[in-house]
Amino acid sequence: MGDLFSNLSLGFGIALTFQNLGLAFLGCLVGTLIGVLPGVGPIATIAMLLPITFGLDPTGALIMLAGIYYGAQYGGSTTAILVNIPGEATSVVTALDGHQMARQGRAGVALGIAAIGSFFAGTVATVVIAALGAPLTRLALVFGPTEYFSLMVMGLVFAVVLARGSILKAVAMILVGILLSTVGTDLETGEERLTFGLPFLMDGIDFAVLAMGIFGIAEILRNLDHTETRDVVRQTIGRLLPNKDDFRQSYKPVLRGTFIGAALGILPGNGAVLGPFAAYTLEKKLAKNPRRFGQGAIEGVAGPESANNAGAQTSFIPLLTLGIPPNAVMALMVGAMTIHGIVPGPQVMTRNPDLFWGMIASMWVGNLMLLIINLPMIGMWVRLLKVPYHLLFPAILMFCCIGIYSINSLPTDVMFIGLFGLVGYMLIKFGFEPAPMLLGFVLGKLMEENLRRALIISRGSLETFIERPISAGLLVVALILLVLALLPSIRKGRDEVFTE
């Protein structure tokens, strides 16, 4: 316990420096902004902003990117409540009751309880990360290349199980991602792989180029494809602070939502997305009158919003302790860490304690900032929601091109983001989810490296993966998950969760 407090005090000392406070505020503000604007999303924004982080120190860069991620969760709830368009996938459930409350003239109360629930959940999640960080890192240090390879296989299986739509399509996307990660010069043999004799492919595909194309440019094309009608609430926002009765109805859903979100967020493969759905289902089952849900029940906002924010933050646990990104945003974080020369994994805590604890402390600071940013600025967000998308996209596109060119000063990078943008758009059109591909791309290099090391140590014997107990256990879990996901009854239930 003493270690925990001393580590947190070290973290707050770093997070509260003038520069890091400014970067956290900037991240939270940008995150809220893109959460509020439907059709941009944190993945596309972080991909676009990666080039800006090049000039920052690693701790400041990751503090800002983390702020964008959990800021987008807050912003997404604002759009869901006021416009009935979830700014974020995780805000789908919030829209069900939040928008009905807004139509009844209780938009302020819905926004207030969403912000308070999110702040409480964020505070608890910060403590959970700090408490689990050290023991998980100690556990991870006993991992060798064999265990790491099996852990990554399990992480990718989780990504398949939790991806939307067809399991076969999710597997195909992961395999394409792994294949793309092998492009370039083999570091051990010096042989060129899949470069087709093109000199600019000798160093492989740049992570920022792939991420910005597949998410940034593809998202712009997708949004231009369909014009949305925005049902912005005409009623007054009303008071923001919930009254005693609202608190009495909400405090238990907030506690339950925080617990569910924190637990699911730790799962590799985007378990955080399931948090709000699980919290909403639980509240509906526990309610004396379930018919109130969908008609403006405050519990339907409090529970899912708390789960949403808790899950968004605890998803940093597998990233910071094991170096395994549980979702596409965390894969971008791995990319940002690699760009700054930091190897994600258990060594981060011992080699970069300032970064590890500074980032954890900044999450609590960021949550406090979001409470201050969001509630007084509701009027501004409402006005911003009325800006048509066709006026926004040229600026976003220009920003993407300038940002990607500034990394390597290569015109081919600008052409590549256009190509990957087109590919990403086509994938979405044909029902393929691009997020597993990014996970496959990030983990592909690490998997190949650990597979080679494990085989060198075992002198080419594949039996090493089942002889070592931890490795065998992880592979068994992965196999069970895959078999369960393929069972017709579970597959039907899984599809219903994502299409609700």
pLDDT for 114-161, tens place per residue?
Answer: 888 888 888 888 888 888 777 776 776 777 888 888 888 887 887 777
Q: Is 144 left (phi over 0), alpha (psi -120 to 50) or beta?
A: beta
Tokens standing for 258? 């925080």
Separation CA 228–CA 48 (nearest Å): 23
Question: pLDDT tens for residues 222-257?
Answer: 777 765 555 555 555 666 677 788 788 888 899 999
Return the CA Rg of the chain: 22
Yes or no: say if 170 and 160 are a contact pair by the CB < 8 Å rule. yes
Separation CA 422–CA 318 (nearest Å): 32
Residue range 186-211: mean pLDDT, rounded: 78
Residue range 61-65: mean pLDDT, rounded: 87
Q: What is the pLDDT of residue 87?
A: 55
Residue range 455-461: mean pLDDT, rounded: 84
Residue range 358-381: mean pLDDT, rounded: 80
Separation CA 293–CA 280 (nearest Å): 9
Yes or no: say if 125 and 258 are a contact pair by the CB < 8 Å rule. yes
Question: pLDDT tens for residues 209-223?
Answer: 887 788 778 877 777
